[in-house]
Amino acid sequence: MAKTADPDKAAQKTAPSQTSTGLPREALSPEDYHELLMQLYLARYFDVRLIKEKKRGRLRGTLYSSHNQEAILVGALYALKSTDWISPIHRDMPAFFLKDIKAGWDNPDRLGMSIEEVCSQVWGRVDSPGRARDNWSHIGSRANKIIHSTSMLAGTIPVAAGVVYADRLDGGDAVVVTFNGEGSTSQGVFHEAVNFAAVHKLPVITIVENNHWAFGTPVELECPTPDVADRAKGYGIPGFIADGQDVLDVYDKVSMAIDHARSGKGPSIVECKTFRAYGHGDHDDDRAAKYRPDDEVAKGRSRDPIGVMKNQMIESGMLAKKDAMAHPAEGKGAGEVTDHDFPEKVVKYLSAGVDFALKSPVPDAEEALKWVFAEDED
């Protein structure tokens, strides 16, 4: 006689767990959550530390702050494999050292730039990837799978498409994540590149950091639809929308886009809703120029990604309130925070990079004439 199934046991087997959401974040461990929080602190500390260094007169060049937008970089990069490619632009400077940092902050074999390289770049030193041609993001690294950034908005999306096309032809499974502002989406090349990637089902994930402003132009004057992600429909590809203040939501949406791409289904757009905390660059004092209403700025900065992540960790029992309060960097501008608002590990890590850069020499003047044309090797 056939056994009658125990109804309780059968129910346990078939009913999805009440708390299960099916989201990619469910595969993350509590250690991953703590690591994500640390990386948010690190990206924020990089930002505020550079602003302070410049105010102290120890740094020249222009800074493009990623303050309040760190969850986009941290969440997206955490979803990648070491061997995947990225293509950052001006507001993504921390991406150069955050790439593959989950393989170990001090791991010399990880496929990302070291904090020393990035700081040397910012200080224009001889050992920087750009060898003092520039102090910011016009760098790349084939070895670390970072596509060279250019100033031309959306200009690297076709390059990214070509890189992963070549990888596919070679039998690889790499995806590329390109970072762009919402202003980039009004460029003709944005449409050409995304369309090309869609036609050829290339694994290109186009992240749109919609921070509502492209220099002094509000998004309403650039895009007729409330969601940039809607444009994906025109290419026949998925358009995801993420809360750019929530590192876990960014992680979820980018992970879904990566799964889609890696399985051969092609590209997608991930729009991350956020808000630019400061002016376009530190040369653009938007408070003095008054092109952004104060209440819009206050609202846009009211959900600090560090605070949002802490709250989620407190609610899920991964972080004690007391520990969350130990380093209260959230909600503070560069002029208000001190090193005590950040975990010691973060301050030490970045300080090592800054010290390295400050001790490094600038290149010889003759170098200015090099590498415009092909150089003789001997």
Which stretches of the chain bind Mg ion, using CB under 5 A?
181-183, 211, 214
Assigned token pair, 267:
């590209």
CA-closest candidate to residue 121, choices 150, 85, 97:
97
Q: Interaction with ligand TPP in 164-183: which residues (CB under 6 A)? A: 181-183
In eight-state DSSP terms, residue 204 is E
| Least Å from the CB of residue 150 to ligand TPP | 8
Which residue has its beta carbon closest to ligand TPP? 181
In eight-state DSSP terms, residue 227 is -
Q: Helical H runs in the chain? A: 7-14, 30-55, 70-78, 95-98, 115-122, 156-169, 188-199, 232-235, 247-262, 286-289, 294-300, 305-315, 321-326, 344-359
151 counts as binding ligand TPP under rule CB under 6 A = yes
Half-sphere exposure of 118 (CA within 13 A, CB side): 23
| Least Å from the CB of residue 220 to Mg ion | 12
Tell how many helices (H) and how many strands (E) occur in the chain.
14, 7
280 counts as binding ligand TPP under rule CB under 6 A = yes
211 counts as binding ligand TPP under rule CB under 6 A = yes
- Residue 318 near residue 33, CB atoms below 8 Å: yes
| Least Å from the CB of residue 244 to ligand TPP | 11
Judging by DSSP bridges, how do beta strands 176-181 and 217-218 pair with one another?
unpaired
215 counts as binding ligand TPP under rule CB under 6 A = yes
| Least Å from the CB of residue 121 to ligand TPP | 18
Single out the segment in contact with ligand TPP by CB under 6 A; choices: 70-78, 147-155, 333-341, 369-377. 147-155
Of 87 and 184, nearer to ligand TPP (C-beta) is 184
Of 101 and 214, nearer to ligand TPP (C-beta) is 214
- Residue 93 near residue 282, CB atoms below 8 Å: no
296 counts as binding ligand TPP under rule CB under 6 A = no
Of 181 and 279, nearer to Mg ion (C-beta) is 181
Residue 303 binds which of Mg ion, ligand TPP, none (CB < 5-8 A, kind-dependent): none
Judged by CB under 6 A, the residue of 38, 146, 153, 261 near ligand TPP is 153
CA-closest candidate to residue 252, choices 13, 11, 5, 27:
27
Residue 67 binds which of ligand TPP, Mg ion, none (CB < 5-8 A, kind-dependent): none
Of 87 and 114, nearer to ligand TPP (C-beta) is 87
Assigned token pair, 335:
């002029």
Single out the segment in contact with ligand TPP by CB under 6 A; choices: 75-83, 206-214, 246-254, 294-302. 206-214
Phi and psi at 271, nearest 5°, equal -90, 125
Contacts of 138 (CB under 8 A, 6+ apart): 130, 148, 149, 150, 151
- Residue 62 near residue 283, CB atoms below 8 Å: yes
Single out the segment in contact with ligand TPP by CB under 6 A; choices: 54-62, 163-171, 208-216, 346-354. 208-216
Single out the segment in contact with ligand TPP by CB under 6 A; choices: 148-156, 195-203, 238-246, 322-330. 148-156
- Residues of this chain that interact with ligand TPP (CB under 6 A) are 90-91, 151-153, 181-184, 187, 209, 211, 213-215, 276, 280
